[in-house]
Amino acid sequence: MKIKFLGLIIATALFMSFSGNAIAATSDPVLISKHADWSVFTFTQDGGKVCFMSSQPQKSEGKYKKRGEVHFFITHWEKEKTKNVVSVSTGYTYKAKSNVSLKIGKNNFSLFTQGETAWANDQETDNKIALWVTKGSTMIIEGSSKRDTATKDTYSLKGTSAAYKAINKECGF
């Protein structure tokens, strides 16, 4: 379990360093519940609870030889009163200054990349993606590695409404 969610810890550390916050003590993620294809976890960071829902793609496409684990996250930070932070840990280093395409039905979003993680550009986009994740049936994320290898990951959104309610409850939103 620790190895599987190392990507989350790294993604969280990247976010916190990107936003200018220092990382202090972080506990290991604890599984709270499962909802179809989605799981809900919490951990403690800097004395505050962090709640997130996560899933892995049902299908991954691309002409890559080696790729690490892939996860999509929606994260709430209780202490910072921050919610709906969308991120993708892709299992490879993205092409520098590239964008990632995220599609849910007819809704298209562009995410910026940093290392192995893609993020929504602002809170408004995070909120829109979080909303559509709970209303859609399938999400497709496309990106390119630093070696110009294109990837396409398809996620089932079955269970997202229940998972989203669970992270809201866990973090008091």
Residue 9, pLDDT above cutoff 70: no
Residues 6 or more apart in contact with residue 73 via CB below 8 angstroms: 8, 11, 52, 53, 54, 85, 86, 87, 88, 89
Q: Is 113 helix (H, G, I), strand (E, B) or coil?
A: strand
In this prediction the pTM is: 0.85
Residues 6 or more apart in contact with residue 120 via CB below 8 angstroms: 85, 86, 87, 109, 111, 126, 129
> String of b and e for 141-166 (b: at least 16 CB within 10 Å)?
bbbbbeeeeebebebbbbbbebbbeb
pLDDT at 26: 82
Determine which of 23-27, 46-50, 101-105, 123-127 has the lowest per-residue pLDDT on average.
Answer: 23-27
Domain boundaries, the chain: 6-171
76 vs 70, 151, 164, CA distance in Å?
20, 27, 10
- Cα dihedral 78, 34, 14, 70, rounded to 10, equals -160
pLDDT tens-digit readout, 117-149 = 999 999 999 999 999 999 999 999 999 999 999
* Token code pair at residue 105: 């039905």
Domain 6-171 in CATH 3.40.50.1820? The answer is no
pLDDT tens-digit readout, 63-114 = 988 899 999 999 999 999 999 999 999 999 999 999 999 999 999 999 999 9
Contact 10, 89 (CB under 8 A): yes
Sign of CA dihedral 94, 30, 104, 66: positive
Q: Is 101 helix (H, G, I), strand (E, B) or coil?
A: strand
